[in-house]
């Protein structure tokens, strides 16, 4: 593990990249985030960790929750049945692409880590309105370090009010029988899950739990099956950074998942989890500072799994 002092230096040396990005504004509340914020936390599989920069500042989890939604869907629905509704392949379109749903892959979402695939995964989680939220929220909670978890009500309401794009995606999927039932209720659970607040240590702990075969390294609680973690990690490798996943894998060699709140979690099987937050994003919707910092750490610590 790196010393805190050195990690501070690496974080500081990466801040220039944050200044090249822009905070997300399509959810108005996210536009209020500080573009200069950048933090990182590393956690090993004994639950020991080190943080640097603004690692204690929280952000909403956004698309990183898609990994937990997918894990819960795998727990509630056999993979072959899930695969009839959602593919496990890379995308060239953006995270909220609609055209791919209409023109490619027989109307099936390409993977569970773009919006269409995450909404379809949430549909496969057991329970009705509110229960699906609870099930996934409990899973996220069990995978974090402090096991306290709150919804940022302002972001949730902002996202719900400005969620036309996700409504378009979800209603389209209803028209093609990928999802059924009450679309607004399903989206309500999705918006709430995207608005869970996490800090870098929480993200690192979720990633370390994945790296540890589903056992939370801090609490020693078994949260997910090893096989399901392996499946989720495989999809993170190919689809975790949206249409930038290929280039990111070449650059860092690590399974990771990003969100438009500026978070990135990276999971190094058998070794550690990393959590980063930097709200300024690049064109693909991935944290600019986070990618720079993660690339430097991957290089220094030889994190590549390839």
Active-site residues: which are they? 63, 66, 190, 242, 260
Q: Does 115 bind ligand GLN (CB under 6 A)?
A: yes
Strand order in the sheet with 272-277: 49-53, 39-44, 272-277, 263-268, 256-258
Q: Does 294 bind ligand GLN (CB under 6 A)?
A: no
Q: Does 21 bind ligand GLN (CB under 6 A)?
A: no
Nearest approach, Cβ of residue 122 and ligand GLN (Å): 11
The only residue of 44, 54, 152, 159 in contact with ligand GLN, by rule CB under 6 A = 159
Q: Is the dihedral of CA 170, 173, 175, 181 positive or negative?
A: negative
Per-residue tokens: 32: 């209020």
Q: Does 237 bind ligand GLN (CB under 6 A)?
A: no
Per-residue tokens: 226: 């090893």
x-marked contacts with ligand GLN along 23-62 as a string, rule CB under 6 A: ---------------------------------------x
Q: Report how far residue 191's alpha carbon sits from residue 69's, in angstroms, rounded to the nearest whole number.
A: 12
Could you tell me how many residues of this chain bind ligand GLN (CB under 6 A)? 11
> Closer CB to ligand GLN, residue 123 or residue 218?
123
Separation in Å, CA 249 to CA 198, 272, 275: 24, 17, 17
Q: Does 158 bind ligand GLN (CB under 6 A)?
A: no
DSSP state for residue 260 in the 8-state scheme: T
> Closer CB to ligand GLN, residue 13 or residue 168?
168
Strand partners, 42: 50, 274
The only residue of 95, 113, 123, 248 in contact with ligand GLN, by rule CB under 6 A = 95
Q: Which of 139, 148, 286 is nearest to 210 (CA)?
A: 139
Positions in the binding site for ligand GLN (CB under 6 A): 62-63, 95-96, 115, 159, 166, 194, 259-260, 285
């Amino acid at each position: 593990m790196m010393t805190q002092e050195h990690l501070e230096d690496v974080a500081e040396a990466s801040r220039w990249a944050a200044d090249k990005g822009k905070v997300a504004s399509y959810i108005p509340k996210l536009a209020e985030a500080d573009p200069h914020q950048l933090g990182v936390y590393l956690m090993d599989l004994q639950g020991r960790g080190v943080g640097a920069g603004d690692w204690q500042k929280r952000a909403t989890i956004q698309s990183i929750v898609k990994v937990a939604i997918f894990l819960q869907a795998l727990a509630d629905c056999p993979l072959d049945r899930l695969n009839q509704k959602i593919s496990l392949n890379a995308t060239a379109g953006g995270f909220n692409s609609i055209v791919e749903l209409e023109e490619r892959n027989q109307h099936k979402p390409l993977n569970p880590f773009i919006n269409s695939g995450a909404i379809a995964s949430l549909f496969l989680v057991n329970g009705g309105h509110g229960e699906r939220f609870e099930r996934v929220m409990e899973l996220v909670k069990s995978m974090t370090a402090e096991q306290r978890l709150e919804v940022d009500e302002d972001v949730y309401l902002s996202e719900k009010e400005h969620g036309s794009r996700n409504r378009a995606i979800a209603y389209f999927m209803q028209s093609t029988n990928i999802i059924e039932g009450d679309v607004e209720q399903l989206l309500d659970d999705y918006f709430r899950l995207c608005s869970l607040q996490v800090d870098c240590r929480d993200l690192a702990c979720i990633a370390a739990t994945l790296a540890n075969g589903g056992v939370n390294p801090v609490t020693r609680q078994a949260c997910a099956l090893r096989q399901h973690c392996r499946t989720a990690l495989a999809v993170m490798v190919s689809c975790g950074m949206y249409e930038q996943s290929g280039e990111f894998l070449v650059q860092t060699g690590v399974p990771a998942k990003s969100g438009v709140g500026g978070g990135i979690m990276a999971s190094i099987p058998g070794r550690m989890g990393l959590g980063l937050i930097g709200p300024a994003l690049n064109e693909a919707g991935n944290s600019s500072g986070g990618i720079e910092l993660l690339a430097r750490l991957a290089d220094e610590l030889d994190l590549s799994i390839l």
